[in-house]
Chains A and B, each alone.
Chain A
Amino acid sequence: KQEVTQIPAALSVPEGENLVLNCSFTDSAIYNLQWFRQDPGKGLTSLLLIQSSQREQTSGRLNASLDKSSGRSTLYIAASQPGDSATYLCAVYSGGGADGLTFGKGTHLIIQP
């Protein structure tokens, strides 16, 4: 059964810093990995989707990498801003009998002004 772990569970940094969020998964046989942002009491905003054949994806100040063989992904946020404060979720799609996404518990990020 696929399990997704995110480290750290919470992170607080001053504005302007670059930071890295980590995600690991136990079964490397995935189709894709997705990073989401969730604001308090809200739904999910998709940030980046990395297909299993890709190594990384970039969108603005965000860069996500995928090392499928080692079961790891990182989300790099450059020049952090207070508006980046949210919970960041990592999810993998493994296909087969598990048709939905398997989510990690998230990293709660606070950017201090």
Chain B
Amino acid sequence: GAVVSQHPSRVICKSGTSVKIECRSLDFQATTMFWYRQFPKKSLMLMATSNEGSKATYEQGVEKDKFLINHASLTLSTLTVTSAHPEDSSFYICSARRSGYEQYFGPGTRLTVT
């Protein structure tokens, strides 16, 4: 149990376009979902926390108007990178938490902006 999926696994988009990444908890309801970003040879950095039905809480330095997060249901959160630029190229990983503190991670999405 506690499986989290992400779609797509890889995406290439042109500079200036927007791209949406989905995160789903497949076999449990997630009260909270998290979005992380990982640059090459760097650690994962938390971008934002989203609770179902409420606005996401963004970490300092993360532009909320650029990284739109929607947590429409207890099993789905989406991250939309708006007007993407090459510096947004990164590995984006989501996680989901049910009751308790443990987070279950998705397989990640590799975003390349050309």
Which residues of A does B touch, CB under 8 Å? 4, 31-32, 34, 36, 41-44, 46, 49, 89, 91, 93, 95, 99-106
Contact = CB atoms under 8 A, between A and B. Distances in A.
Contacts of A99: 32, 34, 49, 57
Contacts of A91: 44
A93 B107 contact: no
Interface in B21-64: 32, 34, 36, 41-46, 49, 57, 59
Contact of B103 (A42, A101, A104): A101
Per DSSP, are chain A's interface residues mostly helix, strand or loop, or mixed? Answer: strand
A34 B97 CA distance: 14
Interface residues of B, number: 25
A19 B22 CA distance: 38
A73 B38 CA distance: 23
24 contacts: A4-B43, A32-B101, A34-B102, A36-B105, A41-B91, A42-B107, A43-B108, A44-B105, A46-B102, A46-B105, A89-B44, A91-B44, A95-B101, A99-B57, A100-B34, A100-B36, A100-B59, A100-B95, A100-B103, A101-B95, A103-B44, A104-B43, A105-B41, A106-B43
